[in-house]
A and B are shown apart, each in its own frame.
Chain A
């Protein structure tokens, strides 16, 4: 089945999602994939009449991504999950667990990232160059 994939940037993401909602698409889920030490791909999956449409956003790990939970409330759960696993921050999340949806507060690593060791007293994430483990 042919599927539509649209590349978007952070600044137009919420507007594009709102347009998709107006067109009658159902929010299916989001997927996040680490590309390298600094960037991830976030895919937004929508469905209408059994046809999938995807938005693909390439985001930097250290900058916040706009949350789409104000458009699709159902997205809040998966955005919290991505925060837990990849350490990406979502700006404007309607219900923010602050990385404790699955993880305990003392967990500092991002389980799905290759270079994610972050000491509890460090504000900046450790980069691949000075990472000592994952």
Chain B
């Protein structure tokens, strides 16, 4: 059979950001895929070296808009570890509340795009309608819909009063009810299943071998969630990672659907036990040393390596995002697959190229 090389991307309707895959196909079956990156590389790790370590928070928030809160949180956590700063308990809970809101709107955005990838436009609009409520909560509590910019080294810059917390809870009730209405459609509809069940299968052993992260790993049966580390206030909340075992596109969709509900539960728990007190501590001095900071971003494990030399600039800030880790896993899913299934499978890892390239 004659082999043909087909380019997928960098511009493609299913891709919100440029990723190029060079596909070797036989007939309509993919035999091999090679990625090409570098279309939106911005050099943010380098920029972090020439900014003050406080200003770097604004730099890392712009690695990715959708998970800006988590990037800043992971960075602050790393600097706080180097400087031996103990964040006030209230700030730890506030960080969890905003980070889970971020996870919710990221997953809802993805669920909409997932529906869009197999042509289910009304489902796409329903998920994005629900996401708007989460963005409203972000805007009302932080002043911004997406880049909320609440983290500072030593805590958070904004607080929530009891009235705001009640309003958040009522908003989350609405979100939970609305998502519940879509459960049957997303998980039981014939068309959805036809396009997602058995597509882009990544078995557990292969996911481990390829270093898959986050939903891509957990939908393949690997119970690996950085929230199990108990960072911030998570050690005081009841948390069990969501795990699916089929490792296909359907499992990855179902997984994210369940994680939205789990995030609602975590926010409710956090609000019910959040202590009174300060929201930040004053930071004196400059960091010197190195740290490895990890948190669970909406797409998986986020890893920061920070090396500081006691000056206002860092020696090195290395950011490993989950999308970067999931590229080899994606390459492992593609061989043997039909070309027509490619958009759904590529989208199923939730590729964020801003994160990947930084």
- A and B pair up: yes
Q: Which residues of the other chain, B, contact A102 by a CB distance below 8 angstroms?
A: 37-38, 41, 357
> Is B85 part of the contact surface with A, judged by Cβ < 8 Å?
no
Closest chain-A Cβ to B274's Cβ sits at a distance in Å of 25
Is there contact, CB below 8 Å, between B229 and A26?
Answer: no
Q: How many residues of A contact B (CB 8 A)?
A: 28
Q: Which residues of the other chain, B, contact A100 by a CB distance below 8 angstroms?
A: 38
Cα-based distance from A32 to B316 in the complex (angstroms) = 9
Q: Which residues of the other chain, A, contact B224 by a CB distance below 8 angstroms?
A: 26, 50
Q: Size class of B's contact patch?
A: 20 to 34
> Is B226 part of the contact surface with A, judged by Cβ < 8 Å?
yes
Is there contact, CB below 8 Å, between B43 and A26?
Answer: no
For B222, give the chain A residue with the smallest CB separation. Answer: A26
Is there contact, CB below 8 Å, between B210 and A45?
Answer: no
Is there contact, CB below 8 Å, between B211 and A74?
Answer: yes
> Is A93 part of the contact surface with B, judged by Cβ < 8 Å?
no
Asked, given contacts A28-B211, A28-B301, A111-B46, whether A52 binds B292 with beta carbons under 8 Å apart, the answer is yes
For A72, give the chain B residue with the smallest CB separation. Answer: B211
For chain A residues 1-60, which have a beta carbon within 8 Å of chain B?
A: 1, 3, 26-29, 31-34, 43, 45, 50, 52, 54
For chain A residues 58-95, which have a beta carbon within 8 Å of chain B?
A: 72-74, 76-78, 95
For chain A residues 86-120, which have a beta carbon within 8 Å of chain B?
A: 95, 100-103, 111-112
Q: Which residues of the other chain, A, contact B357 by a CB distance below 8 angstroms?
A: 102
Closest chain-B Cβ to A21's Cβ sits at a distance in Å of 9
Chain B interface residues (CB < 8 Å from chain A):
34-35, 37-38, 41, 43, 45-46, 208-211, 224, 226, 228-229, 292, 294, 301, 303, 305, 307, 315-316, 318, 320, 324-325, 327-329, 357
Can you show 6 pairs from A to B with CB atoms below 8 A apart?
A: A1-B229, A26-B208, A45-B292, A76-B328, A77-B327, A111-B43
